[in-house]
Structure 1
Amino acid sequence: MKKIFVSAIPFDKHFVTLALESGVDGVIVDAKDTDKVKHLAKVDVFPTDSFSFFSLKAKDDEKKAADALAKKRSVILREGWEVIPVENLLAQGEGLGVEVDSYDRAILAAGILERGVDFIVVTPKAAADLKPIVAELKLSQGILDLETAKVTAVEPAGLGHRVCVDTLSLLKSGQGMLVGNSSAFTALVHAETEKNEYVAARPFRVNAGAVHAYAVMPGDKTNYLEELSSGSQVLIVDASGKTSVATVGRVKVEVRPMLLVSAKTTSGAEGRIFLQNAETIRMVRPDGSPVSVVDLKPGDEILVRTDAAGRHFGMRIQEEIKEG
C-alpha cells in the first residue's frame, strides 16, 4: 500500500481534518503548525525541513534531486513533474515522493515503473479527490481473476473449530473472503450481509471456515485463519474480483458442526473448504448472489480462485507441493 501524505501549507484546519478523516499517513506543515495537527489526531506530522523539495525545470534540477537521494534525504518533487525524470530518480534509490493535485496524477505517480514513487503528497488543490485517492491507493489491491467451479459434494464433517472474522468495515452483498484447504484453490465465502427471520445481518462479519484453512491476504500472501487477530488486515473480494482491505476488529473461534464442500473447475482444478453447517454461512454464485451452504448441492456453481500451490509462512515460493 502506498504512503499518502498531505501538504497543509499554509495551515488549513478544514483541509487537515478532511485528510485525517480520509486516513492519510501523515501531514506536512510549517514547523510552527505541528502542534495544531497533533491536537486533532494521533498521526505523523512532518515539518517541511524533513524533506528536500525540488521543482524539475531543468536537467540540473534532476541532478540536485538525485544528489539528495544519494545522501539519504527524502525528496519531494513539486507538482509539474514529468514521468521520465521521475523514472530516472526512482533508479537512484528510495525516498522519492511527488506532489499531486488530482486523482489522475496520483494514479499516474503510483504506477511509474510498475512500482510507483515511495510516497504521494496530496496538495490542497486535490481536496475533492482526497478520499478517492486514499481508497484507490491504500484500500484497493487490484482485481483478481475468479472463475466458476461446480460443487461436486457437500458432506457433514463433524465438529471443528471455525473462525468468524469480524472487521471494522460494513461489507456489501457479493463481498467476502477467499478461503480454502489449499492456496491453489480458494472459494469466495460471503459476508453475513443477508437477513433472515431467525438472525439479524452481521455485515461486518465473514464466517470464514475452519482454523486450518488458508485465507488470501493483501500483498499476495496467505494466512491460516487461526493466525488472524485484532489489527490484522484481510483481503475483501467481490464477485467481480475487485479487492479492498479491511482491518480485523476481533476473531471468534468456536466449536461448531462443519460441512466439507468440494468443487471442480472446467479446467479440472479441484478444491475443498470446511464451513460451518448453518443457514447463515454462504458462498457466492457466478452472478454475485449469495447461496447458503445448507442449500448447496452437487452441480451448483460457485466462484473460486485458482493459483499455483506453494507457500512458506504465507509467502509465495517455487516448490513442488500438493494440498488437498
Structure 2
Amino acid sequence: MSRIYFRCVPYDKESLTLALESGVDGVIVPAEHAAQAATLSRCQVWADEETPLVSLAAKADEEEALSRMRAGERVVLASGWEVIPVENLLAQSDQVLAEAASLEQARLAAGILERGVAGIVVPVTAVSDIKAIVAQCKLSQGEEPLVAARVTRVEPVGLGHRVCADTLSLLRRGQGMLVGNASAFTFLVHAETEHNEYVASRPFRVNAGAVHAYVRLPHDRTTYLGELRAGQEVLIVAADGSTGVATLGRVKIEVRPMLLIEAEVMGKAGPVRGAVFLQNAETIRLVTPQGDPVSVVALQPGDEVLCRVDDAAGGAGRHFGMRVAEDIREV
C-alpha cells in the first residue's frame, strides 16, 4: 500500500490543513515552513529543497534516479512519468516516490507491479482530489471475492469467549469483517448498524466471534480474533466486495452463549465447507447475497450468506498470518 504525501509548494496553510485532515502520511513544504508544518500534526515533514522532482525523459534519467535512490537521496518522479520506467525502478528499489497530479494518476501509481510505488506525492494543484486519493489509494484494499454459501447447520454450543472489535470508524449497512474457523473459509460478519427495540445500534462495532477464529487483515494477512489490539488496522469489507481499512479503538472479550454455524459452497472437486462460532444473540448478523444483514438467531439450513472461500490450489494455508502454499487442513 502506497503512502500519501502532500507537496505544499508554494506553501498554503489552508491546503496543508485540508491534506492533514484527509489523512496523508506526510507533507513536503519549503524549508522555511517546516517547523510550522510540524506543529499542525504528528506526521513526516520533509523540506522541499531536500526532496527534488526528477523527470524521466530518457533511459539515462531512469539510471540517474536509481543511482540517487541507492545513495540514500529522496527524489520524486515528476508528473508525466510512464509506467515502464517506473516498473524498472520498482524492480530495483523499494524507495520509489512518484508525483500524481490527479486521482487517475494516483490510482495508476498505486497499482504498478501490483504493489505500487512506496509513496504518492500529490502537488498543491491537486488539493481538491486529496480526499479521494487517500480513500482509494491508502484506505482501499481492492476487492474481496465474496460468494454465496448455503447454511447447513446452526446449533447452540454453550459458552465461549467472544470478541467485539470496536473501530474508530462508523461503519454502514452491508459492511463488516471476514471471520471464520478456517482462514480459507471466512464469513462476512455484519457490523452492529441495525436498530432494534432492545439495543441501540453501535455502527463502530463488529461482534466478530470466538477468540480462536481467524479474521482477515489488510494486505492479505490474517490473525486470531483474540490477538487483536487497540491501534491495529483491520480490514472492513462490504457486501459488494469493496474494502477499506479501519483502526481498532478497543477490543472487548466476554463470555457469552455461542452458536456454531456451518456452510458450504460447491467447488471444482465437490463441496467446500466452513464454520464460524458467533454469539447467540439477535444483534449478531451475517449478510445475504442481496447485501442485507440477517440475524444468526433467524438463520436456517438452506439459507445463503456471503463468504470468502480460498482456492486450495492457490495456497489456502497460513503461517503467522501469511499465505503459504502447503497442505494445511482446518476443520
One-letter amino acid of the counterpart of residue 251, structure 2: V
Q: Is the 8 A contact 2:10 2:124 kept in 1?
A: no
The answer to which of 148-157 and 40-49 deviates more is 40-49
Q: Is the 8 A contact 1:52 1:68 kept in 2?
A: no
The answer to which of 304-313 and 150-159 deviates more is 304-313
In the TM superposition, what is the alpha-carbon distance from 1:201 to its structure 2 partner?
0.4
Equivalences for 1:73-84 in 2 at 5 Å?
73-84=73-84
Report the TM-score when normalising by structure 1.
0.97
For 2:322, which of 303, 315, 320 is the aligned residue? 315
Which position in structure 2 is the counterpart of 1:256? 256
Which position in structure 2 is the counterpart of 1:243? 243
Which position in structure 1 is the counterpart of 2:287? 284
Which position in structure 1 is the counterpart of 2:152? 152
In the TM superposition, what is the alpha-carbon distance from 1:59 to its structure 2 partner?
4.0
Structure 2 counterpart SS, 1:320: coil
Structure 2 counterpart SS, 1:180: strand
The answer to which of 242-251 and 44-53 deviates more is 44-53
**Residue 199 of structure 2 is aligned to residue 193 of structure 1:** no
Which position in structure 1 is the counterpart of 2:183? 183
Equivalences for 1:95-114 in 2 at 5 Å?
95-114=95-114
Which position in structure 2 is the counterpart of 1:120? 120
The answer to which of 264-273 and 67-76 deviates more is 67-76
Deviations along 1:166-207, one digit per CA (max 9) or x if unpaired, are 001111111111101001111110000000011110000000
How many angstroms apart in 2 are the aligned matches of 1:266 and 1:178? 19
In the TM superposition, what is the alpha-carbon distance from 1:60 to its structure 2 partner?
3.5
**Residue 45 of structure 2 is aligned to residue 61 of structure 1:** no
Q: Is the 8 A contact 1:102 1:125 kept in 2?
A: no
The count of aligned residue pairs is: 324
How many angstroms apart in 2 are the aligned matches of 1:238 and 1:102? 26
**Residue 302 of structure 2 is aligned to residue 295 of structure 1:** no
Report the TM-score when normalising by structure 2.
0.95
- CA RMSD after TM alignment: 1.3
Which position in structure 2 is the counterpart of 1:93? 93
Return 5+ residue gaps in structure 1 as ranges. Answer: none
Deviations along 1:243-302, one digit per CA (max 9) or x if unpaired, are 111100001000000010111113311111110000000000110001001101111111
**Residue 164 of structure 2 is aligned to residue 164 of structure 1:** yes
Q: Is the 8 A contact 1:168 1:249 kept in 2?
A: yes
Equivalences for 1:35-54 in 2 at 5 Å?
35-54=35-54
One-letter amino acid of the counterpart of residue 312, structure 1: H
How many angstroms apart in 1 are the aligned matches of 2:68 and 2:225? 44
In the TM superposition, what is the alpha-carbon distance from 1:63 to its structure 2 partner?
3.2
Please list every run of at least 4 consecutive aligned residues from structure 1 whose deviation after the TM superposition is greater than 6 angstroms. none
How many angstroms apart in 1 are the aligned matches of 2:18 and 2:321? 36
Distance 1:32 1:186, change over 3 A: same
Q: State, as a whole percentage, how many aligned pairs show the same letter.
A: 60
